[in-house]
Amino acid sequence: MSGAEQPLLICGTRSFAEEIADVVSETPGFTVAGFVENLDRGRCAEPLLGLPVHWIDDLEPFAKTHAAVCALATTKRRAFTQQVEERGLAFATIVHPTARVSQLSELGAGTIASVGVIVAAHSRVGRHVVLNRAALVGHHTTVGDHVSLMPGANVAGNCRVGDGAFVGMGAIVLDNLEVGADAVVAAGAVVTRDVPSGAQVMGVPARVVPGAHGPR
């Protein structure tokens, strides 16, 4: 561990937080300093992976020295990131050494590019996005804030993925399509036409599930 490493607080205390701690442990420039809980204060009573768990209201003393990243696998992390921002912490961008992000593309603050992720050229990935294991983002694609691309998801070139959308494990979004804000693409689905905001689609080809809605 070098003195230049940024202490990092991982927001979340469930299994995905442990997964992200592992990703961070292999990412140069950061060291995991603890976890943050915002729902169940009882979870702060015991360490997680040998590290302290801090209650959300106790974060302000860390604002000048620590960065944060949110490790919730669902788009519900929007409320959590807002709470952390209100307490003055900046968010880190985590890019695992095995991820390949084009120098012509950009990732927003709080975004995680996990093991084996590829982001092609001229793409923009927003803030607090989870690019889970081996997720692919094609060229000239825009991914909004708080989006989740689950393991093996493949969003092709010239696409737009709206804020808060969720693209499930192994799903494919073909070129030149739009996935609307807060939409859900089910695991294994193949998206061949635009997905309306708030809709849920599944199947091959993907079709809207009547009466179903994405996360709010």
User: Measured between alpha carbons, how far is 61 from 73 in angstroms, rounded to an integer?
Assistant: 27
**In 41-119, at which residue ranges do the beta strands (DSSP E only) sit?**
53-55, 67-70, 90-91, 94-95, 100-101, 106-107, 112-113, 118-119
The enclosing domain of 112 has a CATH number of 2.160.10.10
Q: Show Cβ contacts of residue 113 under 8 Å, excluding neighbours closer than 6 positions.
A: 94, 95, 96, 99, 101, 107, 119, 131
pTM: 0.94
B/e letters for 25-45, b = 16+ CB within 10 Å, e = fewer, are eebeebebbbbbbbeeeeebe
41 with 53, same domain?
Answer: yes
Q: Which of 91, 116, 135 is the last residue in one of the domains?
A: 91
Determine whether 139 is an active site residue. yes
Which tokens go with 208?
A: 């809207």
Q: Please tell me the predicted confidence (pLDDT) of residue 203.
A: 97
Residue among 156, 209, 204, 145 nearest 178 (CA) = 156
Would 168 be classed as within a structural domain? yes
74 with 131, same domain?
Answer: no
134 with 177, same domain?
Answer: yes
Full domain range(s) for residue 136 = 94-204
The enclosing domain of 65 has a CATH number of 3.40.50.20
Q: Please tell me the predicted confidence (pLDDT) of residue 215.
A: 53
What stretches in the chain show pLDDT beneath 50?
1-2, 216
Would 1 be classed as within a structural domain? no
Would 186 be classed as within a structural domain? yes
DSSP letters, 195-209, are B-TTEEEETTTTEEE
DSSP 51: B
Would 210 be classed as within a structural domain? no
Q: Please tell me the predicted confidence (pLDDT) of residue 99.
A: 98
86 with 99, same domain?
Answer: no
B/e letters for 69-103, b = 16+ CB within 10 Å, e = fewer, are bbbbbebebbebbebbeebebebbbbbbebbebee
99 with 200, same domain?
Answer: yes
Q: Please tell me the predicted confidence (pLDDT) of residue 73.
A: 82
Q: Please tell me the predicted confidence (pLDDT) of residue 74.
A: 81
- pLDDT digit string, tens, across residues 110-159: 999 999 999 999 999 999 999 999 999 999 999 999 999 999 999 999 99
Q: Please tell me the predicted confidence (pLDDT) of residue 157.
A: 98
Q: Please tell me the predicted confidence (pLDDT) of residue 70.
A: 97
The structural domain count of the chain equals: 2
Would 142 be classed as within a structural domain? yes
98 with 114, same domain?
Answer: yes
Burial of 118 per CB tally in 10 Å (0-12, 13-18, 19+): middle
Phi, psi of 64 (to 5 degrees): -85, -15
Which position among 66, 96, 139, 146 bears the catalytic label? Answer: 139
99 with 199, same domain?
Answer: yes
12 with 105, same domain?
Answer: no
